[in-house]
Amino acid sequence: MTKSILFLLSAFFLISCSEEEVNLPNTLTKEEKEEGWRLLFDGKTTEGWHLYNKGDVPSAWIVKDEELFCNPDTFEVDHGDLVTNEEFSDFDLRFDWKISTAGNSGVFINVQEGEEYPTTWTTGPEYQILDNLGIHKEYLEDTTHWAACLYGFQPIMNQVTPKTAGEWNHSRITQKDGKITYWLNEIMTAQEDLTGENWKALIANSNFKSFPAFGKATSGKLALQDWSKGVSFRNIKILEL
């Protein structure tokens, strides 16, 4: 074999390895690192997260196959929503998720933590995670409950159906000066100004009006909702704006 052929084969191997590394889950590309992105989940531990209002205690949230997995089959540890140790205000958040059949979970933003707040959803607006294809039809009659909705407040802006249960979806949430935008699989699904009068009116006419702190903050923790039949996340990364 000639030296030129060996050189070409070696170059091809190096390029292939480089491309493979870029596509590994729970990693950042060189460009993302330069832009300031950082991972909120390293694929190995739950470092940077804790159970809401309980701290760093053994919980149903485990790392399995490089996924942040809410294990429904454990009873000797605490269950509940998982929240970041840090708080965020202006950000671009991206993450992948997959849900079990008929599953129902969510991601909350601007969560306030304290004994006066019994759950994450008493303060933080939700990005709905749902198995639209497997959930019972009666649930879908309320179009503000579909996957990628601003849960309880708006139908999705553009029609998009999440992938089948057990398959990965890609989601994005941005917040800038209190203005939030949601995406599912690259399609915009919701927008709202959390500082505007429309948002106040929506809350006043919703089931959340009983919670004085709901939807008022434009900074806080991020939370992943516990689901009794299992939900997984990966590639959770954030760029602070």
Residue-wise pLDDT for 152-176, tens only, equals: 999 999 999 999 999 999 999 999 9
Q: 12-16, 127-131, 177-181, 194-198: which has the minimum mean pLDDT?
A: 12-16
194-212 in b/e form (b: 16+ CB < 10 A) is beeeebeebbeeeebeebe
Q: What is the pLDDT of residue 1?
A: 54
The pLDDT of residue 18 is above 70: no
In sign, the C-alpha dihedral spanning 224, 62, 45, 76 is positive
Q: Alpha-carbon distance 126 to 194, whole Å?
A: 13
Q: Alpha-carbon distance 162 to 102, whole Å?
A: 12
CB-based contacts of 211, cutoff 8 Å, min separation 6: 122, 123
Q: What is the pLDDT of residue 92?
A: 98
Mean pLDDT over 137-146 rounds to 96
SS3 (DSSP) at 19: helix
Q: What is the pLDDT of residue 15?
A: 47
The pLDDT of residue 2 is above 80: no
CB-based contacts of 201, cutoff 8 Å, min separation 6: none
Per cent of the chain over pLDDT 70 is: 91
Mean pLDDT over 55-67 rounds to 95
pTM, rounded to two decimals: 0.90
